[in-house]
Amino acid sequence: MTRPLVIAVDGPAASGKGTIAARLAAHYGLPHLDTGLLYRAVGQGVIAARGSLEDAGLAEEIARALDASDIAATDVLTGGEAGEAASKVAGHPGVRAALLDLQRAFAAQPGGAVLDGRDIGTVIAPNATAKLFVMATPQIRARRRWLQLQARGEPIGFEAMLADIQRRDERDAGRGAAPMVQAADAVLLDTTDMDIEAAFDAARRIVEAARAS
């Protein structure tokens, strides 16, 4: 029996992990889940309810009512406000617990799956076939995100974007619930000097090496 191919792609904001994960999913014919969208949806739900992002109870309530099939990469969910909100609500243990089963079920599909986030290789799919930790310098990540938002007409200065990236990195790495760390058996992929084609090719070779072993 062929072992399911589960690919865990972790890393900080704007490192390229989402694009790489989507390309790997298409290449291997696997379903893909951007787990960050789940947290963005929770954060946006709190904002829509006019609640506080520090309200752990409200955030957990929204997380438990979430239907993953309704989550799509809309401009609202991929915007800067949703990203900042996601980083805050992801620090609530109740929110992470509410979304844990959903993510693990996705990873446990018979043929396998590709998931990207910040704790896939450490918490969601610790036995994944291949684990990647995608990184780039904060300056490069801030520029990528800044260009995306500029193209969408969202007014934000580069220095403000860099400060936001650094703030989210500190929050994600320092939170008590499932902090963002590189899994011991994950392969580091630094995309600082790579375009998407080079990054995808490097990621594919990492996956193939993991499958072979």
* Whole-angstrom Cα Rg for the chain: 16
Q: What is the mean pLDDT of the chain?
A: 90
**Would you state the pLDDT for residue 176?**
67
The model's pTM: 0.83
Fold of 5-212: Rossmann fold (3.40.50)
Give the chain's end-to-end CA distance (angstroms, integer). 17
pLDDT surpasses 70 at 98? yes
The model's pLDDT over 131-178, given as tens digits with 9 standing for 90+, comes to 999 999 999 999 998 998 888 887 888 999 999 899 888 887 777 666
